Structure 1
Amino acid sequence: MRDIYQFYPTGERLAAKAWAKFKRPVRHLCDPSAGKGHLIRHAKEGFPGLADEDIPWVAEVEDTEVQEGRFRARVRDYARQKFSSLPNVSVIEIDVQHHSALKELGAKIIGYDFMNVSSLASMSHVLMNPPFSQGCAHVLHAWECVYDAELVAIINAETIRNPFSQERQKLVSLIEKFGSVEFLQDEFTDDVERTTKVEVALVYLEKVPRQYVDIDHLTKGLQRGDSQYSEIDPETCSALALPGNFIQDTCYRFEQAVQAARQASEAQALAAKLRDGLGITLEEMQAKGVGSDYREIASSVREMANADFSERYADLKVRAWSQILRSTILTDKLSNQARRKIEADSKLIYDLEFNAANIHGFLMGVAQSLGDIYTEMILMLFDSIIERMRAVN
């Protein structure tokens, strides 16, 4: 049988090395080649099969104990749990047979085929073990999809050692400019679900928007002194010429809204930073009993922008999927009760990335399951009739 997905689950030792590459706090992780979720599971369980010395961040901690009430606990045991309770974990997995295992881990499935995903803008970290034959394409695609994130990938070392194609050369260039690579032997030979003697490259990349590191760019166009405000160009606010197809139309609107939301979040964060730099008002000085040299401690522009954008992005996804759920594409084919049944699971649908591939996949799934939906509705109606008859008798 042809191995189309090249499913080689990551072992604990390699997973620990991959997680150790992250430098920033993990706010929202995405595994776009999740498989059964081994990378996530190892972290959630605290890498129980590894010695302290095999977990880089644990080995760096002094092996001491702390008092907790009547008991003493090892500091290193706490360090093992560094990635065990992440606030947000999203996954993409093409093999639906693995989805139940991913859901058991509490991960949100946001898509099926990663190469059809168009944006991971709200993710702060990407951790991936893509198919070895497609490693380069997957890493480059992830780089294009993220906006402000760290990326760690486990790929075939030959991809880096033999950069014969333009794609591979581009990846090597990205590593030289924005990251690092570590070559590892025998990571899939022992204590793994499926073995292979391939040498792997552990790739680390950090993508930082230019705006965050170039203050001149941030303040470009801001005039010093006083100036007259001019009215906003009416053409800026005019309706956009959109494609006629409903799904393309909605996707286009969503992409434009996401782009505008990102810009708005950055502008708002910058405005807040510059405002705080001015100081507080006279009334606030009087209330706090401080002078004009007092300044509030503010978060970084990056932190404020990402936090604000995360909320905006989630709201936009809900709005976009809601258009699909209440569109005539569905309502013309479903009874009110069948529609309500689908809408009852809307929170699961909202977790999916909003793109044309996912929309078509969702609609196809609904079409294929119409028979099951109506059968279940008939059974529910029958049960309701029986209950009423029992109540009368």
Structure 2
Amino acid sequence: MDQYQFYPTPATLASRAWSLFKSKEWVRVLEPSAGNGDLALACPAWRDDYRRRVPVDCCEIDLRRHPTLRAKGLNVVGTDFLQFKNGHLYDAIVLNPPFRDGVKHVLHAWEITWDCEIVAILNASSLKNAYSTERDHLLSLIEKHGSVEFHTGAFATEEAERRTEVEVALIYLRKKAQVEEIVGDILSEMKTDEETGESLAGGYAEAQCLALPNSVLENTVVAFNAAVRAMKDAVLAEARAGYYSGLIGETMAVRDGAEGGSKRDISTSWVQGEMASRYLELKDRAWASVLRSVDVMDRLSFGAQRRLEASFAEIKQMEFSVSNVQGFILGIIDSQDEIAIGMCCDVFDHIIRWHTEENGTLYRGWASNDRHRTAGMRIKTTRFILPGFQLEGWQRQLGWNQMKMLQDFDKVFAMLDGGKLKPEVGLCDIFTTELEQMRRGARVSSSYFDCRWYPGIGTIHFFSRSAALTDALNRKVGRHRQWLPPEGTRVSEDFWKQYEKSEKFDKEIRQALNTNRKRWERTAIDRLFSSDEKEREAAHEAVADVIDQVLARHGISTDFLLEDSQQMPLLAA
């Protein structure tokens, strides 16, 4: 907490800060030191009227607070505000920065804005003890462009989450863009051209290509910054064109009563709003290019790619800079274990969830005294069968979704095979190059599977070429879903005996489960995958009961599952 000097803004002080804004018709608001969002969410347009809510963006240097801010509906667009550049998008900035760097934050806000009101909460000593050039500069800005008021005890009230007796200064600044900054002085420039006799196109030369750095990442950021600059120039050019065409007057049709007119809005609010919307589109494009070009995407299954892209709405809010892109990529690297298990679960579920009887077997899940009993599932290591592989289209090939599925199998098994990117011969390869042979019933091999395809009914029989890799998938998913004990856990020998011989007991278990089931009832196995937690737990208990009975008939005790696992001998899984 002390590292970032985090003092949440008390409600009374936040309300007073917002009251200093002269205009309440905001286009876009920025809170550069958001913390938990107390000051940002005190915005009257949020608190009083949901329909009037304006976009409120935040910077917050403490990454642990980002999920909280997003959950509250705020857009996180940056981390360190002192590195933030796109202040021109905002017509209101409200901030409670760290007291030690408060002056720097306010001066930076002034520097990067274009037409904006700024309200800041600072330590009063920053103004009363102006011993630095920065503090003198801030005092000069306040004198010319704003005001200041001092409050004692603002952080010492009962509502203050973290209390201090420090006196604070509440600063108001108004930075106003002039119309001349939008429309320029084209008339004077043209008069000069006429006096000198130079052509309006004089001095034009073909633009040289940018000398970009070698880094792809830096190249993308440079291109983005160039696009943003060109966009700003384009918006200002549109405003100028509208302004000067308006000076000429209306068209003859409009003069004769037709709808429309040539006069354009050149207000600062229009320019700012147009820049903001175009900037957000450019940022969306830039982040999308990174998301699609990161090498790790080649390793992800289709489902994992979709999960990553689902977070894109949050990712694209961040300012597009080298540091933010690097942070995003590092985040993917840090999450690679989570991504990997997600990919394994995707493939496991596709093989076993909808085709359990043909492809999977049941076993008694591991449990201890404080856990519910569970029923585990594993893919058969010899063969599994999947339907839905009919030919599509006039070219008579497998469809896009089917090929993606095969591609996912290859990616997951390659990952399990020592972290490889892809197999030497993939399933998609054999369904492209060996399609005719497979249509005639040939059994064709990829790196990880022998495959036999029955195009008439659209099923593929997959024969695993490595029982060890299939078992690795079973164990990875089993541990993640707590069907198997964590690695190194002390578990009885009987547990692994029933796990390894699950195919032997599976038919007997399924027959027992279906003995008293009504035709219209969902099977207990189907309910193992229910989205309802209570239904899922009840199904696990019911299936586990049946597994216990079957195992008992074969002389395998499951009492060890309910005992203290730390008392068991350590057996390698």
Same fold judged by TM-score > 0.5?
A: yes
**Would you say the 8 A contact 2:90–2:272 is kept in 1?**
no
Alpha carbons 2:9, 2:38 under 8 Å: kept: yes
Distance 1:340 1:216 in 2: 47
Q: 2:154 aligns with which of 187, 208, 227?
A: 187
Within the candidate set 197, 201, 204, 1:233 is matched to 204
Contact 2:124–2:168 (CA under 8 A) maintained in structure 1: yes
Secondary structure (helix, strand or coil) at the match of 1:234 reads coil
Question: Hey, what's the Cα distance between the residues in 2 that align with 1:121 and 1:387?
Answer: 52
Q: Which residue, out of 318, 329, 336, partners 2:284?
A: 318
Specify the code of the residue in structure 2 equivalent to 1:273. Answer: Y
Per-residue deviation at 1:331? 4.0
Q: Tell me the equivalent position of 2:2.
A: 3
Q: Does 1:262 align with 2:228?
A: no
Contact 1:15 1:42 in 2 (8 A): yes
Deviation at 1:96, TM superposition (A): 2.9
Q: SS of 1:30's equivalent?
A: strand
Q: Is the 8 A contact 2:14 2:39 kept in 1?
A: yes
Is 1:212–1:301's contact at 8 Å kept on the other side of the alignment?
no
- Whichever residue aligns with residue 207 of structure 1, its letter is K
Task: Answer yes or no: is 1:93 the counterpart of 2:65.
Answer: no
- Tell me, yes or no, if the aligned pair for 1:31 and 1:126 is still in contact at 8 Å: yes
**Counterpart contact for 2:119–2:173, Cα < 8 Å:** yes
Post-superposition Cα deviations, 1:88-110, rounded to whole Å, max 9, x if no partner, equal 11111122332233123211111
Work out the percentage of aligned pairs sharing the same amino acid: 35
d(CA) in 2 for partners of 1:211, 1:181: 27
Change (3 A) 1:82 1:162: farther
212 and 306 in structure 1: CA distance in 2 versus 1, 3 angstrom threshold = farther
Asked if 1:115 is matched to 2:82, the reply is: yes
Match for 1:199 among 144, 149, 167? 167
Q: Does 1:246 align with 2:216?
A: yes
Cα deviation, 1:134-167, whole Å, max 9, x if unaligned, reads 1011111222222222111101011111111122
Highest CA radius of gyration, 1 or 2? 2
The amino acid of 2:9's aligned partner reads T
Q: CA, structure 1 residues 3+146, in 2 after alignment: closer, same or farther (shift >3 Å)?
A: same
1:23 paired residue number: 22
Q: Deviations over 1:64-109 (max 9, x none)?
A: xxxxxxxxxxxxxxxxx27984221111112233223312321111
Distance in 2 between the 1:18 and 1:212 partners?
31
* Amino acid corresponding to residue 242 of structure 1 in structure 2: L
Superposed counterparts of 1:291-310, under 5 Å: 299-310=265-276
Residues 1:378 and 1:9: Cα distance change in structure 2 (over 3 Å): same
* Preserved contact between residue 228 and residue 282 of structure 2 (Cα < 8 Å): yes
Number of residue pairs aligned between Structure 1 and Structure 2: 354
Which one of 310, 320, 332 corresponds to residue 344 of structure 1? 310
- CA spacing shift, 1:370–1:19, aligned 2, 3 Å: same
The CA RMSD over aligned residues, in Å, is 3.0
Sort the Cα spacing of 1:112 and 1:214 in 2 relative to 1 into closer, same or farther, 3 A: closer
Which position in structure 1 is the counterpart of 2:71? 104
SS of alignment partner, residue 77 of structure 2: strand
Question: What is the Cα deviation at residue 21 of structure 1?
Answer: 1.6
Contact residue 183 and residue 239 of structure 2 kept, 8 A? no
Alpha-carbon distance in 2 for matches of 1:44, 1:84: 12
Distance 1:40 1:219, change over 3 A: farther
Partner Cα distance (1:161, 1:223) in 2: 51
Q: Which runs of 5+ in 1 are unaligned?
A: 48-80
CA contact (8 A) 2:61 2:80 kept: yes
- Contact conserved, 1:242 with 1:252, CA < 8 A, in 2? yes
The match for 1:221 is 189
- For 1:212 and 1:333, the matched residues in 2 are separated by 53
Structure 2 counterpart of 1:63: none
Aligned partners of 2:235 and 2:274 also within 8 Å: yes
Whether the 8 Å CA contact 2:242–2:265 is kept in 1: the answer is no
The answer on 1:383 being equivalent to 2:354 is no
Q: Provide, for residues 176-199 of structure 1, a one-character-per-residue CA deviation record: whole Å limited to 9, x for no partner.
A: 222221111111111211111111
In 1, are the aligned partners of 2:212 and 2:222 still within 8 Å (CA)? yes
CA contact (8 A) 1:156 1:199 kept: yes
2:245 is aligned to: 275
Amino acid at match of 1:90: D
Distance 2:296 2:106 in 1: 36
Q: How far does the alpha carbon of each residue in 1:319-366 deviate from its partner, in whole angstroms, 9 at most, with x for none?
A: 211221122544466556544432232222111111112111111101
Name the TM-score, length of structure 2 as normaliser.
0.57
**Offset at residue 297 of structure 1 (A):** 7.2
Structure 2 unaligned residues grouped into runs of 5+: 360-573
